[in-house]
């Protein structure tokens, strides 16, 4: 099965609410990255967190990493309709030549 | 804009056609990638080039043939494709393997 798996697969919230997406993985990682994809478009890098980091912020985004549980979460605060997109986590490992392995993504819908 | 361009954006081809997808990055990156994104499946890594050398071929059928003439350009030559090859093909680049990846907008391929 894939290295990174997002949960939930789909999430629908109202504008202004917070959105939390989770990612679980199986093997040791070098770093974990979150990407966003608008429908049918390329992915956009959001944030990278290294295996020795526990939390990182970027604007309204907050990412946590728990290597003991092999999990990460992405929190989007005060969501906006424009945040509607699919969000993917990707794990980078030394063993695979630093290749990224992407999860199946969480489809987020923010209703105005 | 991410600095990674892909052409064409849409392509419809028959199973006996030969076509090529083109990717160009203007970011001075050393690594370039081809991914396949099918509906309801995780992003699949197809090929990786690092300093123009192919470093990864993820068990991709020979009807897909990559070419990397220089570190700024990447092609995917298509020949005798099957309808199940219909997907969004994404190109990405990164400074080094395992780092933040910058994606192009993708080519939506339909095989009839």
For residue B27, the 8-state DSSP code is S
- Confidence at residue B54, expressed as pLDDT on a 0 to 100 scale: 78
A6-21 mean pLDDT: 94
Task: Find the closest chain B residue to A2 by CA distance.
Answer: B42
CA–CA separation, B41 and B46 (whole Å): 14
CA–CA separation, B24 and B46 (whole Å): 17
Q: Write out chain B residues lying below 8 Å of A46, CB-based.
A: none
Who wins on pLDDT, A53 or A40? A53
Cβ(B105)–Cβ(B6) below 8 Å: yes
The percentage of residues in chain B with a pLDDT greater than 90, rounded to a whole number, is 72
Query: In 3-state terms, what secondary structure has residue B80?
Result: coil
How is residue A59 written in tokens?
């604007």
pLDDT digits (tens, 9 = 90+) for A28-37: 888 999 999 9
pLDDT digits (tens, 9 = 90+) for A43-99: 999 999 999 999 999 999 999 999 999 999 999 999 999 999 999 999 987 655 567
CA neighbor of B92 nearest in space, from B76, B108, B106: B106
Which of A36, A98, A105 is the best residue to mutate to test the B interface, defined by the most B CB atoms within 10 Å of its own CB?
A98
CA–CA separation, B110 and B112 (whole Å): 6
CA–CA separation, B81 and B46 (whole Å): 15
> Among partner residues A2, A42, A100, which is closest to B90 by beta-carbon distance?
A42
Q: For residue A30, is the peptide bond before it cis, meaning its omega torsion is within 30 degrees of 0? A: no
B40-65 mean pLDDT: 85
């Amino acid at each position: 099965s894939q290295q990174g798996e997002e949960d939930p697969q789909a999430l629908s919230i109202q504008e202004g609410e917070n959105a939390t997406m989770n990612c679980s993985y199986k093997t040791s990682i070098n770093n974990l990255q979150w990407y966003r994809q608008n429908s049918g478009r390329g992915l956009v890098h959001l944030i990278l967190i290294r295996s020795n980091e526990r939390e990182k912020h970027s604007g309204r985004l907050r990412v946590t990493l728990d290597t003991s549980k092999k999990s990460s979460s992405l929190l989007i605060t005060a969501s906006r309709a424009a945040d509607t997109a699919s969000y993917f986590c990707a794990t980078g490992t030394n063993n695979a030549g630093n290749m990224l392995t992407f999860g199946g993504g969480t489809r987020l819908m923010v209703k105005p | 804009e991410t600095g990674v361009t892909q052409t064409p954006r849409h392509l419809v081809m028959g199973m006996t056609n030969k076509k090529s997808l083109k990717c160009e990055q203007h970011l001075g990156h050393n690594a370039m990638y081809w991914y396949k994104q099918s509906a309801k499946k995780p992003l699949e890594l197809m090929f990786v080039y690092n300093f123009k050398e192919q470093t990864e071929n993820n068990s991709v059928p020979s009807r897909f043939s990559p070419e990397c003439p220089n570190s700024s350009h990447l092609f995917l030559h298509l020949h005798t494709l099957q309808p199940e090859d219909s997907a969004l093909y994404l190109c990405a680049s990164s400074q080094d393997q395992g780092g933040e990846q910058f994606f192009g907008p993708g080519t939506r391929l339909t095989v009839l």
